[in-house]
Amino acid sequence: MEQVWFFTVDEVDKPRGGKNNDGYDDDNNNYIPVRKEQLHYRYEVQKLIGEGGQGLVLQCLDHKTKTLVAVKMLSLPLCTSTASRQRTELEVTKELQGKASDERYGVIRLLDTFQFRGHNCLVVELLKKSLYDVMSKGSIKRICVRRLREYTRTILDFLLYAKRRGIVHGDIKPDNILLTAAGKVRVTDFGCSCYLKSHSTQ
């Protein structure tokens, strides 16, 4: 490492009890995080904020920028198909980044990528509320029409933008529509995405 932004010895050797990846991973090949440990000598783990079939999401403190971020740590790629899917997710996430693509097309902002103990990691802006959260707190009828139009317009703008880039998201749902503090839409989770050319040949 050329630069070390954060390091701690307190939790480094704490037993994880995992069965895979020298004890660092659980039965599903997901990393077992420990609070306050370092990731990539830069990100301090604060807490687990999401978990799914393709990995987990951690809230971390970026010691370089002194800001809170979300680190998506993918499951350990033990087979060719998993490795290929993760490469596609990384490529698609990077491909969709562009000048003001977050504000214009609702693309989640990618801040960094790295590998940690064999796991591919994506660092994105930290957004704590999803469209699913908004809907689960009450009836969809409670969301004003103006907001619904804004959400719908941005999602459609995103889909058109992705299509122009030759990309299919593959998993548009309320859980994958995040909202900023100002209520702006950010589309995330490209784990099921594919390129139109490869999709048409399957």
Q: What is the mean pLDDT of residues 140-162?
A: 87
Strand partners, 120: 115
Domain of residue 55, residue span: 21-200
Active site residues: 171
84 inside domain: yes
152 inside domain: yes
191 inside domain: yes
195 inside domain: yes
pTM of the entire structure?
0.89
How many Å apart are CA 83 and CA 101, to the nearest integer?
27
How many Å apart are CA 89 and CA 132, to the nearest integer?
22
Looking at residue 14, its pLDDT comes to 59
7 inside domain: no
3 inside domain: no
Q: How many domains does the chain have?
A: 1
Name the band, by pLDDT with cuts 50, 70 and 90, for residue 16.
confident
68 CB-side CA count, 13 A: 9
How many Å apart are CA 115 and CA 196, to the nearest integer?
27
129 inside domain: yes
Looking at residue 197, its pLDDT comes to 80
Q: What is the CATH number of the domain that holds 39?
A: 1.10.510.10
How many Å apart are CA 129 and CA 181, to the nearest integer?
9
CB of 16 closer than 8 Å to CB of 22: no
12 inside domain: no
